[in-house]
Amino acid sequence: MSSGVLFIHNNFPGQFRNLATALVARGVRCAAIGSATSPGVQGVRIGRYALDRGSTPGVFPYAVRAEADLIRGANALRIARALKDEGFEPEAIVGHPGWGEMVFLDEVWPNARQVMFSEFFYRAHGLDVDFDTEFHTTTEDVLLTAHAKSAVMALSLASATAIVSPTPFQASALPAVFRPLVRIIHEGVDIEAIRPGPPEPLVLPDGRTILPGTPVITYANNHMEPMRGLHIFARALPRLMDQVPEAQVLVFGQDSAHPYGGLPEGGGTWRELIFRDLQVDPSRLHFMGKTPHETLLAALRLSTAHVYYTYPFVLSWSLVEALASGCYVIGSDTAPLRDAIEDGVNGRLLSFFDPQALSAALIEACRNPEGFNDLRAAARATAVAKFSKRDGTEAWLGLLRELGVEIPNGDLLTPTV
């Protein structure tokens, strides 16, 4: 019988890439279960499932998500049984319970320690659902749907030996009964590769070039939606671009058919709706779309100020990468950002609903770019202290060792400021 670590993620590796790679490098046998689109990791055998059915037509509306999660759980169960039949007996199961794949694993490996990654536990109040009512009315139906969304996740978490959350805010979303099991471990970013550096000319999609020394505002929003403050950012631009006529604005992200917060009620995309009547110079507002990661990092090194706004929701990797790049970050004063930024120390935190405050901060940044060098240095120091891939991987390995997984020691690079 063989032992090792089993990973569960709908899109494996997801947040487990660093950990899986480290375990494989240390000779720990690893396997994974994921959906048909999971990219996988070299050295990790993955069992991919294809759904054998969809949701039941006419199913009780509040049960739609639960049924879908249970269907995924049943598919994952079949793969788990096949792995067991081949002799795979994991000492620990590390997984993301958010899509249901973990819910039935006790039936296969009742003695395995289950470490669950709690990215976000959905609630009807106090988080993203009732934060901003401009575009969606918070009806009772919306609230009950949010309550029901975490039903199977809660059932999965009931089997957890330990729970890992990346930030204190994300841990606080969990029901109180689960919080004693929580460890705060952020998977981190490669702060050796993502670091401050001399800005270089950036070629835009239309062939024009932005030169160092130009006032550049950067903003990243993967799904181009209000949940990451797209509407607030847009409303800050007219005043900025009027008072700083040389400013260039780079917007990273693409229109999504499945944004976190849903599509606009009237159809179309959020970008179309929000920017439709915006009075700005289109020649200085650049929608970069989905670009190579290196392009985003080059833009961050060129950035005069980076904007990151969010509802009370998951903290984005882009914010962490901006800190690691030594950006002057102007963020929203919302709970996720308070885990990363202290206003006036390593960035700015402004009221989410005040675009005028954002435009004023951006204008000040453009007019006095050297005035925020201390905040830039502190941002980099924060990334090194809180969001290092090395430290995150070591913390994960340490947790697994505590749970009895035999992991040989390895040598990881020490980050530098």
Task: Find out whether 146 and 122 touch, Cβ atoms under 8 Å.
Answer: yes
Asked if 166 and 228 sit in the same domain, the reply is no
* 26 found inside a domain: yes
Asked if 37 and 125 sit in the same domain, the reply is yes
Asked if 130 and 208 sit in the same domain, the reply is no
Q: Give the DSSP per-residue string, 15-76.
A: GGHHHHHHHHHTT--EEEEEETT----TT-EEEEE--S--PPTT--GGGHHHHHHHHHHHHH
CA distance 366 to 247: 8
Q: Percent helix, strand and coil across the chain, each rounded to 5?
A: 40, 15, 45
| pLDDT tens string 81-95 | 999 999 999 999 999
Asked if 149 and 133 sit in the same domain, the reply is yes
* 193 found inside a domain: no
* 409 found inside a domain: no
Evaluate if residue 417 carries a pLDDT over 60: no
- What mean pLDDT is predicted for residues 64-80? 97
Pick the closest to residue 251 from 266, 280, 398, 174 (CA basis).
280
Asked if 15 and 158 sit in the same domain, the reply is yes
pTM of the predicted model as reported, rounded to 2 decimal places:
0.94
Q: What is the reported pLDDT for 416?
A: 38
- What mean pLDDT is predicted for residues 302-327? 98
* 194 found inside a domain: no
Asked if 25 and 169 sit in the same domain, the reply is yes
Asked if 381 and 317 sit in the same domain, the reply is yes
User: Across all residues in the chain, what is the average pLDDT?
Assistant: 95
* 414 found inside a domain: no
Q: What is the reported pLDDT for 2?
A: 61
Task: Find out whether 326 and 303 touch, Cβ atoms under 8 Å.
Answer: no
Evaluate if residue 56 carries a pLDDT over 90: yes
Helix (H) or strand (E) run with residue 270 in it: helix 270-275
| pLDDT tens string 207-251 | 999 999 999 999 999 999 999 999 999 999 999 999 999 999 999
Can you read off the two tokens belonging to residue 312? 């009370």
CA distance 314 to 257: 19
Estimate to the nearest angstrom the gap between the alpha carbon of 7 and the chain centroid: 19
| pLDDT tens string 118-172 | 999 999 999 999 999 999 889 999 999 999 999 999 999 999 999 999 999 999 9
* 412 found inside a domain: no
Written as one letter, the residue type at 47 is G
The domain spanning residue 20 has which CATH number? 3.40.50.2000
Evaluate if residue 259 carries a pLDDT over 60: yes
User: What domain range includes position 316?
Assistant: 202-386
Asked if 232 and 290 sit in the same domain, the reply is yes
* 410 found inside a domain: no
Q: What is the reported pLDDT for 415?
A: 36
* 351 found inside a domain: yes
CA distance 200 to 210: 9
Asked if 86 and 182 sit in the same domain, the reply is yes
Pick the closest to residue 104 from 29, 42, 49, 58 (CA basis).
49
Per the structure, how many domains does the chain have? Answer: 2
Asked if 392 and 381 sit in the same domain, the reply is no
Q: What is the reported pLDDT for 30?
A: 98
Q: How confident is the model at residue 412 (pLDDT cuts 50, 70, 90)?
A: low
- Angle at CA of residue 359, ends 354 and 362, nearest 5°: 130
Q: Give the DSSP per-residue string, 242-258.
A: HH-TT-EEEEEB---SS
Asked if 252 and 338 sit in the same domain, the reply is yes
- What mean pLDDT is predicted for residues 336-348? 98
Asked if 131 and 48 sit in the same domain, the reply is yes
